[in-house]
Amino acid sequence: MDMLPPSTLTHANFVLKLEKLRVFQKNGRRAVHKPLLILFALARLQRGETSLLCFPEIEEKLQQLISQFGTTSDAAHPCAHYPFWYLKNEGFWQLTHTDEIEFRHGKAEPKLTWFRRVRVEGGFESELNDMFIRNPDLINAAAGSILQGAFPSSMHEEILDAIGLDLTFFAKKTRREARFRTDVLRAYGYCCAVCGYDGRIGDQLIGVEAAHIRWAQAGGPNDVSNGLALCSLHHKLFDAGGFTLSPENFVIRVSHLFAGRSAAVREMYERTGTSPFLPVVKAQLPGGIHLRWHASQVYRD
């Protein structure tokens, strides 16, 4: 196996590596394959199993996760062996059978058939694996860091359920994030831009949230022009790529992949081509640069 020298990996420098792993690459391209694989391995440890994953046994599940949470509108079929291979460059992931690698011609990664034929296994470096076993709370800390660094909060619950990871953590909100929420909700009249929902109990607004158009994890600013006021349902649907707004005229575009038999789903399709509720102040309108990012990186079309 490819192993780090003894005593080189601690919890502190592992956290630093996770910070660097927050993998929105240049030009804002989504690349969350590695975080999903790490979360998958952490879930194994949490259940008392080894983090060592046999590629042929987890390939289909990992492909499903990448398709569900990581594939962009112009991506090809998800390649589960890419994160399995390239994660070893991060300094905490090991692979078996590296002495008999079969590389693709002119490529930096091995053939997919090699992963399957020799049943390559990958997992956390043994020292880190032991660290997690001794202190299970570190699993929560690592998983929380991965989620917050790579995915918007509206997607966390679905990702945890899909992976089978039991996690309770609380994201710390900065003052800038709190101001962003206040400014966005005020600009949109404290109602959902899509359906107009504005429910309250007394003076408390219930279920209307400030959504980032370009995710904070992808460098999106805490500006009103990068925000939409959305109810909880439409916030989740927006972050999942179920709909977007046209950068040219702000009309609603609903993904053909969004489906269901309920009246609420039919109503969402009926909103295709219609205009949402928007701020009256021009400077507070959704920014075209952010909408183009969402349309190309999140919207599923």
Residue 46 and residue 115 in one domain: yes
Cβ atoms < 10 Å from Cβ of 66:
21
Residue 22: per-residue pLDDT: 53
Residue 17 and residue 156 in one domain: yes
Residue 209: per-residue pLDDT: 94
DSSP reduced 3-state for 227: strand
- Per the rule left: phi > 0, alpha: psi between -120 and 50, beta: everything else, 121 is beta
CB burial of residue 261 (10 Å; 0-12, 13-18, 19+)? exposed
Contact yes or no for 217/209 (Cβ under 8 A):
no
Number of domains in the chain: 2
Residue 4: per-residue pLDDT: 39
Tell which of 99, 133, 163 closes a domain: 163
Stretches where the chain sits below pLDDT 70 are 1-12, 22-30, 71-78, 168-176
Residue 68: per-residue pLDDT: 84
Residue 222: per-residue pLDDT: 93
Domain span including residue 266:
175-297
d(CA 183, CA 186): 5
d(CA 44, CA 170): 22
DSSP strand E in 131-290: where? 200-201, 204-205, 208-212, 227-231, 243-245, 252-254
Residue 72: per-residue pLDDT: 52
> Apex CA 51: angle with CA 48 and CA 57, to 5°?
105
Residue 261: per-residue pLDDT: 92
Residue 187 and residue 131 in one domain: no
> Apex CA 285: angle with CA 284 and CA 286, to 5°?
115
Residue 141 and residue 55 in one domain: yes
